[in-house]
Structures are given as C-alpha cells and as structure tokens.
C-alpha cells in the first residue's frame, strides 16, 4: 500500500497558486517549480479561467484570501462546484481566522495555510495534498470500474432474459398470429365469394377502414416477434483472430447500398487504414454493423448523413485496461432526450409507430457486443448528435465476468490507504 505513495509522480498533476502579489507568485514558483508543475494567477477570475481550461490536470489549488474582486473563499467555493476532487487550500493571515473557520465548516476549504510559509514545510504539505488527490482519484476510478463491471453483468443478465422471452414469445405466439393474419387477409375475398362481385358491403367503412387497421396491427405484432427472434443470440460463438473491421464495414455497406441510394443517404466513414484486426465472430460482427445502420436509418427522420468511425483506445468505461477498437455511429437527425438515452436498449421502448423503431436492433447489438466481452452505450456527444459507441476488445475478453481478478484487492488497498490519509 505504501508502494502506491512511493510510485506517485508529483508532476503528473499541477498546483495552481492564486495571489494578487506578484512577488509572492514569483517566490512560490522559484521555490517549487523543480518539484511540481506550477500554474499561477493574479486574481480569482484568472485563476478560475485556468481551472476551467485545465480542470483534469490540476490537483491542488492555493489562493490568497484578500484580493481585488472575488475573495479566495469565493474562488475555492467555485472550484468545489467545478470539481469537488480538487484539494482547496486557503492562504491567509492570522486576522482572518473567523473566515477560515467558516469556510472550512461550509466545505469550501480543505485546509488553510498562514503567511509567511516555510518552503521546506510547505513542500512536504504540497506532496501530502497531491497524494490525497491522487489516491482519491484512483479510488474513484476503481469504484467506477467496479460499478461498470456490475452494470455490465446486470445488462447481460437482462439481455439473456430478453433472449429467453423472445424465444418463448416466438414459439407460442407466432403460429397463432400467423393464423389470425391468414384469416384477416382472406376476409375480403371470402366476403366477395359469399356476397358476389356486384353486391356492396352494408358497412363499407368498417371493412375498408377498421379491417385495414386490424391487418396493420397483426403485421406489426408479427414484425415485433420476428425482430425479437433475430435479436436473440447464441450463447456460444466461434471466434477467430484476424477479423478486419474495415472489410466488414465495406461489405455491410454494399449489402445495404440499395436502401441507402433510394433514400439518398450518405455514409461518411472515418476508419484509419492501419486499424488492427480483431478476434471476433465474422458473421456476428457483420450483423452488428447491419443492426447499427438499420437503427440509424430507422430514426434518421429528414436527415441524410450517417457518420461511422473507429479508432484504437486503451480501454472502455467497463474496463479501462482492455485495449479495444472504439466504433461509433451517429447521424445529423434529432438527438434523443438525455432522459431517454438509457432506454434505447430496451426492446419495448418505442421511438415511433414503426415496429422497427423499438429497441430490438440495439438489444441485439448489445447481445453481440456482450458476447465479445465489450461495451456499448448511447450518449449525446459534443456536436449535439446522439451516437452509439461500441468498444470491441482486440482480444476477446470473457463476457459478463468480473474480469480483472485483482480489482477487488486493488479497491481494498486503495480504500485502506485513503482512510489512512484521512486519519493522518
């Protein structure tokens, strides 16, 4: 556990010092820039701007209390709302003790420092504060990783349950619905036979309107069952190395070319030529691409652009240590509401009246990604478009398993170290 502290790179995260006295800033930089990465600012506004620009890189914020404009406490409170992980230190004089106590009680300040400060003592304190930040960040990352794995397991169980449900519904209901559809389809012809070609119906509106609605609904139910059936995947698949994602994308676009041309849809690709191959099931990978494109086509509305790209990443939200190909697909149609993003993989979540607008395509996509040991999610990206993000491991990982056997021990060790730092 102490080895973690010994391995901390104190220059990985920066220290920001805010003070309106130029001499103090100069002295601070000269004293500590050899040991830490230092940023300085002359007032709260400038300091907050640096925080916003480099929020993922700053671990410790020190600020003088008395400055023109906003005070140090006000800056620290804004920093807390921006990122609660940042270690917030108030630099003040003894006459400001009441302000310090109040700010500590409200949670705006992690610690306070009185002027003048001793360089050697402060250097040790800066190391300790950075250790707090690093261990806290590591703790949060591990807990997030654990949560991601648990969520993946729950989704996998849910997807498996939906597969069983789909199989049962298809077996028990499809034959009955086929019989009903046959009867509904034959009704107009049988009526003509019974009444003769020259005789009109007594209730023509019923037969032309209501009969048509019934026919549409029966077809809709059969279509839903068919798509649910297609969405249920095998539990065991044969995987092979050397599967080329670029080739699979090209083949899928050729298969779907007629529909794309008819609807005047343009697919913009962003897949590097040196993208590494995958260990995958070729048929299921092609099915995954087809399902993702079908889902995009179903919900395009009046849009005409689909964007499909891929890149290599070091990990995914469920496992940050698993090298993956990150595949994404989006369009320039209307984005999905944030509250609905989590429901897109629900097979019975409707986004329109068309049976294809249900989440069956994305449920099937989840199955395939799950069997590859990967991760799939929907989110609204910075460009305002809704995108489906898929992470496929370069080498297949176990699907739905806890993976990373030392995750629990790493979490326990980090939690213990975190408690020790809190006590000390």
pLDDT at 160: 58
End-to-end Cα, the chain, rounded Å: 15
Q: What is the pLDDT along the chain (424 residues), one digit of tens a residue?
A: 444 455 678 888 899 999 988 888 999 999 999 889 999 999 999 999 999 988 888 999 999 888 888 888 888 888 888 888 889 988 876 556 666 666 665 556 778 788 888 888 899 889 888 888 888 877 777 766 666 666 666 555 555 556 656 666 666 677 777 778 888 888 777 777 777 666 666 776 777 777 778 887 887 777 767 666 665 545 556 889 999 999 999 999 998 988 888 888 899 999 999 999 999 989 889 989 998 998 888 877 677 889 999 999 987 776 667 889 999 999 888 888 888 887 887 766 776 655 556 667 787 788 788 888 888 889 888 777 889 999 999 887 554 444 444 555 555 555 555 555 555 5
In total, the chain counts a number of residues equal to 424
**Rounded Cα–Cα distance for residues 202 and 232 (Å):** 46
pLDDT at 43: 92
pLDDT at 96: 63
Q: Where are the beta strands (DSSP E) in 42-176?
A: 58-64, 87-92, 111-114
CATH fold for domain 146-393: Heat Shock Protein 90 (3.30.565)
pLDDT at 47: 92
Count of CA atoms in the C-beta half-sphere (13 A) of 75 = 33
CATH fold for domain 2-117: Rossmann fold (3.40.50)
pLDDT at 83: 86
Comparing CA positions, the residue from 324, 312, 309 lying closest to residue 393 is 324
pTM: 0.51
Q: Which 3 state secondary structure label does DSSP give 69?
A: coil
pLDDT at 402: 42
Q: Where are the domains of the chain?
A: 2-117, 146-393
pLDDT at 399: 44
- Report DSSP letters for 252-299, one per residue: HHHHTHHHHHHTT-EEEEE--TTPPPEEE-HHHHHHHHHHHHHHHHHT
Q: What angle do CA 393, 394, 395 make, to 5 degrees?
A: 85
Phi, psi torsion values for 208, nearest 5 degrees = -85, -30
Phi, psi torsion values for 136, nearest 5 degrees = -60, -45
């Amino acid at each position: 556990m102490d080895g973690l502290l010994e391995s901390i790179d104190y220059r990985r995260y920066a220290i920001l010092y805010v003070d309106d006295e130029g001499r103090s800033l100069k002295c601070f930089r000269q004293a500590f820039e050899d040991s830490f990465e230092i940023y300085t600012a002359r007032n709260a506004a400038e300091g907050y701007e640096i925080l916003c620009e480099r929020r993922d890189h700053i671990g410790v914020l020190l600020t003088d209390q008395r400055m023109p404009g906003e005070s140090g406490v006000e800056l620290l409170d804004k920093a807390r709302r921006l990122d609660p992980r940042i270690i917030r230190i108030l630099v003040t004089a003894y006459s400001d003790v009441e302000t310090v106590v109040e700010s500590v009680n409200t949670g705006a300040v992690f610690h306070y420092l009185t002027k003048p400060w001793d360089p050697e003592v402060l250097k040790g304190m800066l190391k300790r504060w950075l250790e707090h930040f690093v261990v806290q960040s590591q703790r949060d990352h591990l807990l997030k990783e654990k949560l991601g794995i648990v969520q993946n397991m729950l989704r996998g169980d849910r997807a498996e349950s939906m597969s069983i449900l789909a199989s049962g519904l298809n077996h028990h209901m499809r034959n009955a619905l086929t019989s009903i559809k046959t009867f509904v389809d034959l009704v107009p012809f049988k009526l003509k036979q019974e009444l003769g070609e020259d005789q009109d119906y007594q209730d023509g509106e019923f037969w032309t309107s209501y009969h048509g609605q019934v026919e549409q609904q029966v077809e809709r139910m059969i279509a839903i069952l068919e798509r649910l059936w297609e969405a249920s995947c095998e539990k065991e698949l044969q995987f092979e190395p050397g599967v080329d994602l670029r080739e699979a994308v090209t083949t899928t676009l050729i298969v779907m070319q007629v529909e794309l041309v008819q609807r005047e849809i343009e697919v913009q690709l962003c897949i590097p030529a040196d993208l590494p191959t995958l260990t995958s099931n070729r048929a299921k990978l092609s099915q995954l691409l087809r399902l993702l494109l079908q889902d995009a086509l179903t919900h395009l509305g009046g849009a005409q652009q689909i964007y499909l790209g891929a890149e290599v990443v070091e990990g995914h939200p469920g496992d940050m240590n698993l090298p993956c190909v990150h595949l994404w697909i989006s369009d320039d149609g209307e984005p999905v509401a944030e509250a609905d993003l989590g429901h897109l993989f629900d097979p019975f979540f409707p986004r329109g009246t068309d049976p294809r607008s249900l989440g069956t395509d994305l449920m099937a996509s989840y199955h395939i990604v799950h069997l590859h040991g990967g991760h799939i999610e929907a989110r609204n990206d910075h460009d305002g478009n809704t995108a489906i993000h898929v992470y496929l491991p370069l080498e297949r990982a176990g699907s739905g398993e806890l993976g990373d056997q030392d995750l629990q021990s790493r979490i326990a060790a980090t939690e213990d170290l975190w408690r020790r730092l809190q006590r000390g």
